[in-house]
Chain A
């Protein structure tokens, strides 16, 4: 798989449920970031986690990072219809190059 691969590719849940998306990567990283993209729109930065961090919270978002498994997860708690979007992880292996995964399309049903 390529650097920054998310799974599942698509996720459909009911409002109020939690949504978990996973990301795997191949090379060593300095940090990993999660972005949201609403259909046809730009990317919105959600959260950055550094390679020496294991968990980070921001509002309803919780990100974990396991560098031994080269994986990260994004948990959105108590999802809302407005959370419907595509979610991408992006890895920064150093230098000035950021690699995005293919994304998870989340659909939250009201």
Chain B
């Protein structure tokens, strides 16, 4: 069964550093999403992406964040200058129309 994959599974970085989180969506899906989940809290929507552009973004998704689909398979989330409060699980998802399939997540720890 096709699945969404994410790398790395765990990323540790120092405050102020840039990180890139990578996702490989399901190949025939057209919609892509990033979410984050701070430990013990709800899953928060960050951004959706369709047709090579951002469709919608939340207030969390400020200028420190960017997304890109650099080739036909990868979908990346970049955080330019990480802050302690960026520590969270980051989930990528993809969908054809409605049902979103989630990846296993990347645990980002900012020290």
Contacts and interface: CB of A to CB of B under 8 A. Distances in A.
Contacts of A102: 41-42
A89 to B, nearest CB: 11
B34 to A, nearest CB: 11
User: Does more than half of chain A's interface fall in helix, strand or loop, or is it mixed?
Assistant: strand
Interface of A: 31, 33, 35, 41-45, 48, 88, 90, 92, 95-103
28 contacts: A31-B98, A33-B98, A33-B99, A41-B104, A41-B105, A43-B91, A43-B93, A45-B99, A45-B100, A45-B102, A48-B99, A88-B42, A90-B43, A95-B48, A95-B55, A96-B33, A96-B48, A96-B50, A96-B55, A97-B48, A97-B56, A98-B33, A98-B100, A99-B45, A100-B43, A102-B41, A102-B42, A103-B42
